[in-house]
Amino acid sequence: MIDVDSIARAAKILRQGGVVAFPTETVYGLGADATDVNAVSRIFAIKGRPTSHPLIVHLGHTEQLDAWADDVPPAARRLAERGWPGPLSLVLRRSERVPLAVTGGLETVALRVPAHPVALALLREFGGGLAAPSANRFGSVSPTTARHVEEDLGDAVDYVVDGGPCDVGVESTIVDFTGAEPAILRPGGLTREAIELVLGQELRAPGVGPGEAGVRAPGQHPSHYAPRARVLLVAPSAVVEEAGRWRSQGHRVGTLALAVHQPPPSEGLVTLTVPEADEDYARTIYGLLREFDRRGCELVIAALPPERGLGLAIADRLRRAAAPRG
Ligand code: TXA
Ligand code: MG
């Protein structure tokens, strides 16, 4: 699956200050040399993302941790050793090597070693760190195929490495080690339960909206990961009734729910059925949200999964997709 020519070409473009989209196990990233401030500024321009929103630096080896972070606490090191390569980002004190352009002016940096053969091959060929947010326009649905990247960003990117569809399908879990206690800033592909097991302690959970208690990460807006269609969250048992109500008002409606909670097929209704297993749901969630847009839905009625395991990340993304848009 690894095309050595495309890896060599991508690494060369990155060394020249270019911007390259590449697959990770979570979502596709939009990468640039993390030490090249000009290249990094192009990432923000291409995405239309505010420069105050920090980027994650991707590394090819766990051993590079201390080159990019200072004063790494033992618990963070233990988690890195267990969780990398994998869908886990650690927020630590930045080392001198990390430009403020990458961290949105913060003295901390998010680091991760992705578990994708193509991402690892590219990082190891490149040698340094790659600053890489998800390869989509700011606020919209993250890309899990090279096709999604091309649809969103087109010619703005110097090169897209195609590594097939992403395996995990939701972004990395972000754990902050710069506060008094470790805290999850964003639920993601590594479950809270798995992290708590390694750390031997319970973690504070993220808050979603402004009024809610909990942790807020810089750049984690309540409204994010959103398709064009409006998203309305309801109890699973209310999907049929709610869909009927909006249909009767003439709207083109989509429903996102388990098969048992779906309304029968009818004109003007797009029913996309959620897989039973959380792993399968996570892998397909962004593709499903894109599919509603492709099929012209104005409104998507969605049921939240139980918030444990990967369900926590899926529910977080659905809540943000449903949040009022600024
Ligand atoms: O799975 C992922 O993490 C993907 C792939 C490409 O690796 N990347 C990703 O990047 O989701 P992005 O830019 O879409 O989200 C990065 C988020 C920021 O929005 C911010 O909330 C958090 O990471 N972050 C980055 N640096 C931080 C820091 N120093 N302190 C707190 N949060 C930080
Ligand atoms: Mg993103």
Residue 164, Ramachandran bin (φ over 0: left; ψ between -120 and 50: alpha; else beta): left
Ligand 1 atom with least separation from CA of 28? 6
Task: Determine the residue of 111, 171, 224, 320 to mutate for testing ligand 1's pocket, defined as the one with the most ligand atoms within 8 A of the Cβ atom.
Answer: 171
- For the chain, strand residue ranges (E) read 20-22, 29-33, 56-58, 69-70, 88-94, 108-112, 130-131, 159-160, 173-176, 183-186, 230-234, 253-257, 269-273, 299-303
3-state secondary structure of 323: coil
174 CA from centroid of ligand 1 (Å): 7
The residue type of 272 is: L
- Ligand 1 binding pocket mutation candidate from 152, 161, 174 (most atoms within 8 A of CB): 174
End-to-end Cα spacing for the chain = 41
Distance 249 CA to ligand 2 centre (A): 34
Question: Residue 211's pLDDT is what?
Answer: 41
Compute the distance from residue 250 Cα to the ligand 1 centre, in Å.
Answer: 39
> Residue 123 C-alpha to ligand 1 middle, in angstroms?
18
Ligand 1 pocket test, candidate residues 22, 30, 44, 89, most atoms within 8 A of CB: 89
147 contacts: CB under 8 Å, gap ≥ 6: none
Helix (H/G/I), strand (E/B), else coil: 118: helix
User: Can you tell me whether residue 187 is helix, strand or coil?
Assistant: coil
Average pLDDT of adjacent 10-residue blocks, the chain of 326 residues? 92 98 98 98 96 97 98 98 98 98 98 98 98 95 97 95 98 96 96 97 66 59 86 96 96 97 95 97 97 97 95 96 87
Amino acid found at 278: D
Instruction: Give the CA distances from residue 151 to residues 127, 140, 159, 253, 286, in Å, rounded to whole numbers and listed in that order.
Output: 29, 12, 14, 23, 14
pLDDT at residue 220, as a whole number: 75
**pTM metric for this prediction:** 0.95
Candidate from 55, 138, 190 with most ligand 1 atoms within 8 A of CB, to mutate: 55
The token pair at 139 is 């606020």
Select from 192, 170, 171 the least CA-distant residue to 182: 192
Q: Which residues are near ligand 1 (CB < 6 Å)?
A: 24, 26-27, 29, 53-56, 89, 91, 103, 106, 108-110, 114, 132-134, 171-172, 174, 185, 217-220
- Distance (Å) from CA 240 to ligand 2 centroid: 31
- Measured by CA distance, the residue closest to atom 6 of ligand 1 is 29
How is residue 135 annotated by DSSP? S
Torsion angle of the four alpha carbons 26, 231, 46, 142, in this order, in degrees rounded to the nearest 10: 10
Q: List, as one string, the DSSP characters of 78-101.
A: HHHHHH-SSSEEEEEEEPTTS-HH
Separation in Å, CA 122 to CA 15, 46, 141, 218: 12, 21, 24, 28
The DSSP bridge pattern shows strands 29-33 and 56-58 to be unpaired
Determine the atom of ligand 1 nearest the C-alpha atom of 58: 7
Q: Please count the residues of the chain.
A: 326
- Ligand nearest to the CA of residue 87, numbered in listed order: 1
